[in-house]
A and B are shown apart, each in its own frame.
Chain A
Amino acid sequence: MRVCSQWTEKGFIMKSIQCAHKKKALVEMSAQIIFTACASFAILAVVSITLYMILSGTPAIFEVGLPEILFNTRWSPTSQDPQYGILWVILTSVVGTFLAILIGVPIGILTAVFLAEVAPRKLAAAVKPAVELLAGIPSVIYGLLGIYLLNPLMYRLEQIIFKGSATHQFVGGANLLSAVLVLAVMILPTVINISETAIRAVPVHIKSASLALGASHMQTIFKSILPAARSGIVTAIVLGVGRAIGEAMAITLVSGGSVNIPLPFHSVKFLTTAVVSEMGYAEGTHRRVLFTIGLVLFVFIMLINVILNRILKGSGEKRGE
């Protein structure tokens, strides 16, 4: 009896282990399938977007000619003799993004340093949620603030600077500079959050060593901590550039929307705002050229991502070696 019961007991355990094993294998398998499916969904999205952009962006290139689109400065898609030159539009996006980065990145990085290193804990606890809130504000709100606060100020400035000028076209404050300022504010949360994480991730021993060698706190920050956080800060800049160049809603409200040379007090049109503002009524070649503008923007963002990552991170790694 006893032997028998022991036997059955053992058998039961064996069985239950086997059963658990089978179940485990099933869970493992299905989890793997789910993960693969999710990953392929993202890849599918990227591939199909790329394909779609190329397919819908290229017909106009053959129709109008690539140099005629990229290097012509006249944009009048609805005239009798339509011109589809987007050189000023491209330059506006480049200059606008560059200036926004020039203003936004230093402020962002220094704020990150402040939050991670300088600020008393209580103050940092107050500033941090404010920065996060900034990230959550919809872009159209930035645009509205731009219209009601920034543009009137810009208009006053414009009237003072160009008083009596016969050649300047007054635009009422809706200009490149307004768009740049709005963009600079919009990239702040991205730059601040990622830089701060990077700065906090710098090993304590680097800071300790620097301080122990007699460097002051500020020397430590600029000579040891920031160089050590370089890779993360580069990521912050790349994402900031991505946000600035891809933004449409906020700047379409404050930038004026005419195609002009990108000078600070000119009314300008960005790659994104050209697509956003004209897609509704465009038809025929005009519509197809708007898709080409989308393709140009797409290629642009890809190039910037690759180049910035290569150059900035590559030289960092070399220095590290």
Chain B
Amino acid sequence: MKQKDVKRMAGRREGRRGGRKQLLAITAALIMVIGCLAACGNAGNGEGGNGSGKESGGLTGSLSLVGSTSMQNLVDALSEAFMEEHEGVTVTPQYVGSSAGIEAVSKGTADIGNSSRNLKDSEKESGIVENIVAIDGIAVCLDPANTVTDLTKQQLTDIYTGKITNWSELGGSDMPIIVIGREAGSGTRSAFEELLGIEDACVYANELDNTGAVIARVAATPGSIGYASLDAIDESVISASLEGVAATAENIKAGTYFLSRPFVMATKGEISEQSELVRAWFDFVLGEEGQKIAANAGLLTVD
């Protein structure tokens, strides 16, 4: 009896141990399969990239662009087209803000720092070079029901400094003006305030932290006024004309529309000192095709 019991116990234990072993084996097998798949995938990609890279001039590697959120539309379109042309190249854009982008390129964590404002003197002194790749227009947007659609520079200044607070003062309906802007540090905000000469004098009712939020808020709030990059404006808002000049790419190119700013791709040192890949990028961006893309994004091209 006892012997049988013991045997049964031992057997049961073995069985349990066996079960555990089985589980372990299955897990291990799974891990191996997944690992193998991942490795194969990587290898495949790598080979594919290298192979076609050789065909198109041998450019390989990855290019990192970090910076302005305002430049997202442009940079996305550029990097897509660039990667199509050079299949061995991966362009990885990040949109974290102009200052963060310049900081990244000066620290060497990014190849190119995107900035939607001119570089500051302190930044230029630290060896960062300002390469303007396009010029952006800032559009003033109004809610769709607004009857005032043209503003003078003086009126715009008075609205943003709080001197004019009701649309009736501008010939519109009796409705309070809700002044919407961007947060401190935003490239669009500093460009807007600089262009109007009203730095630190703006009285914002709403400070929102991205372009999309500004447009959404303006579209949803009767009597509101906001500003955003021209290429981000959609049909949900009215884009006001300034001094009788509509906010269009043609007018920005013609120089008659006064709210515009540069799009900068900053590098550490001159372009000629950069790696082959970065030089190829700038050749592309400043070349015919790149400028065509910029133009399609509603930007002013550079010569």
Residue of A nearest to B69 (CB): A280
Instruction: Say whether, besides A12-B6, A77-B184, A170-B177, A278 and B209 are in contact (CB < 8 Å).
Output: yes
Chain B residues with Cβ below 8 Å from A288 are none
Chain A residues with Cβ below 8 Å from B10 are 16
Which A residues, 162 to 190, have Cβ-Cβ distances below 8 Å to chain B? 166, 169-174
Q: Tell me if B148 counts as interface (CB < 8 A to partner A).
A: no
Chain B residues with Cβ below 8 Å from A256 are 205-207
Cα-based distance from A77 to B184 in the complex (angstroms): 7
Chain A residues with Cβ below 8 Å from B99 are 281-283, 287
Interface string of B197-227 (1 = CB under 8 A from A): 0011001111111000100110011111000
The reply to whether A80 and B200 contact each other, CB–CB distance below 8 Å, is: yes
Determine how close the nearest CB of chain A comes to the CB of B99; give it in whole angstroms. 4
Binds B, one of A28-36, A119-127, A144-152, A214-222: A144-152
The reply to whether B3 and A155 contact each other, CB–CB distance below 8 Å, is: no
Interface residues on A, range: 35 or more
The reply to whether B207 and A258 contact each other, CB–CB distance below 8 Å, is: yes
Chain A residues with Cβ below 8 Å from B96 are 280
Chain B residues with Cβ below 8 Å from A257 are 183, 204, 206-209
The reply to whether A78 and B185 contact each other, CB–CB distance below 8 Å, is: yes
Q: Tell me if B241 counts as interface (CB < 8 A to partner A).
A: no
Chain A residues with Cβ below 8 Å from B216 are 147
Interface residues on B, range: 35 or more
The reply to whether A267 and B206 contact each other, CB–CB distance below 8 Å, is: yes
Q: Tell me if A208 counts as interface (CB < 8 A to partner B).
A: no
Chain B residues with Cβ below 8 Å from A277 are 183, 207-209
Chain B residues with Cβ below 8 Å from A80 are 199-200
Cα-based distance from A181 to B183 in the complex (angstroms): 23
Chain B residues with Cβ below 8 Å from A77 are 184-185
The residue in B97, B184, B221, B224 that gathers the most chain A C-beta atoms within 10 A of its C-beta is B184
Chain B residues with Cβ below 8 Å from A172 are 178, 180, 205-206, 217, 221, 223-224
Q: Tell me if B165 counts as interface (CB < 8 A to partner A).
A: yes
The reply to whether A252 and B209 contact each other, CB–CB distance below 8 Å, is: yes
The reply to whether B207 and A283 contact each other, CB–CB distance below 8 Å, is: no
Across the interface, B205 reaches (CB within 8 A) one of A253, A267, A280, namely: A267
The reply to whether A170 and B178 contact each other, CB–CB distance below 8 Å, is: yes
Cα-based distance from A253 to B214 in the complex (angstroms): 11
The reply to whether B178 and A9 contact each other, CB–CB distance below 8 Å, is: no
Give B residues with C-beta under 8 Å from A: 2-3, 6, 9-10, 69, 96-100, 102-103, 162, 165, 176-180, 183-187, 190, 199-200, 203-209, 213, 216-217, 220-224
**Extra contacts besides A258-B207, A267-B204, A267-B207 (6): CB < 8 Å:** A12-B6, A78-B184, A159-B176, A169-B162, A169-B203, A281-B185
Give A residues with C-beta under 8 Å from B: 9, 12-13, 16, 75-80, 147-148, 151-152, 155, 159, 166, 169-174, 252-253, 256-258, 267, 269, 276-278, 280-283, 286-287
